[in-house]
Amino acid sequence: MNTLDLSQTPIAADGTFEVQLQKSGQILQVTKDQSILKVLQDAGHDVPFSCSEGICGTCLTKVVAGTPDHWDMYLTPEEQEKGDCIMVCCSRSQTARLVLDL
């Protein structure tokens, strides 16, 4: 399956999804118990963050493909609906893969 397919496929029943980093092509697995931010940090990526609760907007990251599952309180409903950015500290994915502009 290519990137496009996975970014249009609903998330797995166990809540696991993949994050692909656009610039390097690196693919990381995010399990149900992990935040995207934690997975990025564990992989050595220095993503700016502050509150870790979806309030401050510091961790805003652009989404290239896939559909975010927004859990933050920072984006407006219209911005959430647009789906072109995500708060990686708390939000998740509705699709099996999210491609981020990182």
Q: Does 47 bind ligand FES (CB under 6 A)?
A: no
**Between residues 3 and 34, which has the closer beta carbon with respect to ligand FES?**
34
**Between residues 51 and 102, which has the closer beta carbon with respect to ligand FES?**
51
CA distances (Å), origin 43, targets 32, 61, 68, 89: 17, 16, 21, 15
Residue 92: CB atoms within 10 A of its CB come to 19
Least distance (Å) from ligand FES to the CB of residue 30?
15
**Binding range to ligand FES, per CB under 6 A, among 2-10, 28-36, 52-60, 63-71:** 52-60
Residue 36 CB partners (closer than 8 Å, separation 6+): 19, 30, 86, 88, 89, 91, 92, 98, 100
Binding site for ligand FES (CB under 6 A): 49-52, 54-59, 72, 74, 87, 89
